[in-house]
Copies of this chain bind each other. A is one copy, B any other.
Amino acid sequence: MLNIRTDLALESTELYRETAKKEADGIEIETDEGESYTVTRIKIMDEIGSEQLGKPRGTYITIEVPGLKNTDQDLKDEISQLVAKEIKGLGKNHEETKTLIVGLGNWNITPDALGPKVVDRVLVTRQFFLAYKKDRDETVANVSAISPGVMGLTGIETGEIIKGIVEKTGPDLIIAIDALASRRMDRVSTTIQISDTGISPGSGVGNKRIGLTEDYLGVPVIAIGVPTVVDAATMVNDTMELIISSMKEQAQVGTDFYSMLERVAEEEKYQLIKEVLEPYMPNVLVTPKEIDILIDDLSIIIANGLNMALHPGIELKDVNRYIR
């Protein structure tokens, strides 16, 4: 099993491939190429695949949209629709599903604020179902939403807060949104991962001790994540490799050091850098300069996608009416 932490199943398969020089077992990968995006669907079928990739069994959909960094309204709308389609494709919700949307992360740390920003913007309707004592509606689904904060702010495990709310309000489906760490800067704020496996302990930009999973909460959990930071150790590691390969091209590379580095397994090298780096710069974020704007854009895309996926009467043409 890999020890390098990545929140993206796509990167887990890449890392496994680099290290083992073969594809992981017990997985299925399927790719759709759009003009402006690539969708990769990774299905971890059994325990072997789960162990090799360090991720729970289930389906992981990764939407990569390189153009999201300098985007326009048409692309945003296209990706919102794609997000809606992929959420619906997971088959966890229908018209009468009561959904609880959970915005994970710390609203005081910009790159960790994606989840709370989506929750701010999503259409919330459960109060009307209560007020009018209705069970279903033709155009609107029953949706509630909360940003539980992080343990450093509340002193309470996120999982405990959500479990308490689930027991009191009885939703049929949870959709949790979280900011992730990627191994590659070019994936930051251009990639959306949707999975039906919930949120594992320890994932995301902040660390969770209890996961948000169907096992723990008793209802299916769809997780939507967007990388908003890269790990500093990863950045150094990758830059060193670029430098070494650039030196190699220039035939200047020292044979011993280089060959030694070559011999060191990817993972050990990463651990070495991590050990050196951490006392020197703990709690460092590596993030794009324009992260505030990128997070704003992404939260609108995801909130629009959720509104279209959940509410039968909301289509693209009206979706911007429901956004704040």
Contacts and interface: CB of A to CB of B under 8 A. Distances in A.
Interface of A: 72-73, 108-110, 120, 124-127, 143-149, 151-156, 160-161, 163-169, 185-186, 232, 235-236, 238-240, 242-243, 246, 252-260, 272-273, 276-277, 280-281, 283-293, 296, 318, 320-321, 324
Contacts of A109: 289-290, 292
B144 A154 contact: yes
7 contacts: A108-B293, A124-B155, A145-B153, A146-B156, A185-B281, A242-B277, A285-B285
A152 B243 CA distance: 33
A241 to B, nearest CB: 10
A155 B145 contact: yes
Given A72-B318, A109-B289, 7 more contacts: A145-B155, A156-B169, A160-B168, A161-B164, A161-B168, A239-B276, A242-B276
Number of identical monomers bound together in the oligomeric complex: 4
Contact of A145 (B73, B154, B292): B154
Listed from nearest, the 9 A-B pairs whose CB atoms lie closest are A164-B164, A254-B257, A254-B256, A257-B257, A126-B155, A144-B155, A185-B281, A283-B289, A72-B321
A274 to B, nearest CB: 10
B149 A146 contact: yes
Contacts of A166: 164
The winner among A240, A256, A257 for most chain B CB atoms within 10 A is: A257
Contact of A240 (B147, B149, B240, B288): B240
B127 A286 contact: no
Contact of A276 (B125, B246, B292): B246
A284 B293 contact: no
A87 B147 CA distance: 29
B318 A124 contact: no
A160 B100 CA distance: 14
Contact of A236 (B147, B236, B296): B236
A109 B109 CA distance: 12
Given A168-B160, A239-B236, A290 B283 contact: yes
A286 B286 contact: yes
A249 B255 CA distance: 19
Given A164-B161, A165-B160, A168-B161, A288 B289 contact: no
A126 B324 CA distance: 30
A284 B185 contact: yes
A163 B154 contact: no
A283 B188 CA distance: 12
B253 A257 contact: yes
Contacts of A291: 285
Contact of A255 (B120, B147, B256, B324): B256
Contacts of A110: 110, 292
A283 B290 CA distance: 8
Contacts of A152: 124, 127
A235 B293 contact: no
